[in-house]
A and B are shown apart, each in its own frame.
Chain A
Amino acid sequence: SQQGEEDPQALSIQEGENATMNCSYKTSINNLQWYRQNSGRGLVHLILIRSNEREKHSGRLRVTLDTSKKSSSLLITASRAADTASYFCATEVGAQKLVFGQGTRLTINP
């Protein structure tokens, strides 16, 4: 079963705009990770945020984690056409077992 649920399921924005995706989960976690997947290929790790962290940045990415609400958000600033992909949150439930949500399909329009 899927633990994480991403919202929205699909998002279409103009190049240069910011994209925000949300993830909710159900159980206690060790960490939460965000991955990108291009056209049904392999997953690319974007960022990991530990359960005792509230916010983390990596380049144009900003991730927040609210363990009291069991939710996380991924913000991509100044979007580019190359950011078009599906984005998944994954919670680590037990060592190395990742539980993924259904993903957000992000489309960046030129």
Chain B
Amino acid sequence: DAGVTQSPTHLIKTRGQQVTLRCSPISGHKSVSWYQQVLGQGPQFIFQYYEKEERGRGNFPDRFSARQFPNYSSELNVNALLLGDSALYLCASSAVSYSNTEAFFGQGTRLTVV
């Protein structure tokens, strides 16, 4: 079975542009979460979606938005890119939305803003 897949793997954007990152969860998983990992830091929680509804949001500006589709895939959208948005964006999927369950991460999308 395929794991969590993210696309693209690398991306270079200019300040002020908009970007859309994509994530396909493991088959059967209904929960998708997004994390931002700046170089040298641990990942930081951005969003969690379950059954197409937002279940959690981290401390990120409104420039960050996400959605989940009927097939449980998800997109993360970032508007008006800043240099500080350069990071590895990780998607994680799990079977359920409640606690004590394992999250499976994709390989990430490395975004560079110039």
Contact = CB atoms under 8 A, between A and B. Distances in A.
**Chain B binds chain A:** yes
Interface of A: 1-2, 4, 30-31, 33, 35, 40-45, 48, 50, 88, 90, 92, 94-103
Contacts, number: 83
Contacts of A44: 105
A96 B97 contact: yes
B106 interface: yes
Nearest to A2: B42
Given A31-B99, A92-B100, A43 B56 contact: no
Nearest to B42: A100
Given A33-B103, A94-B99, A96-B98, 8 more contacts: A45-B102, A45-B104, A88-B43, A94-B56, A96-B31, A96-B50, A96-B99, A103-B42
Interface in B50-109: 50, 55-56, 58-59, 88, 90, 92, 94, 97-108
Interface residues of B, number: 35
A48 B102 contact: yes
Contact of B55 (A1, A48, A96, A101): A96
Contact of B56 (A30, A50, A97): A97
5 contacts: A95-B97, A95-B98, A96-B50, A98-B92, A98-B103
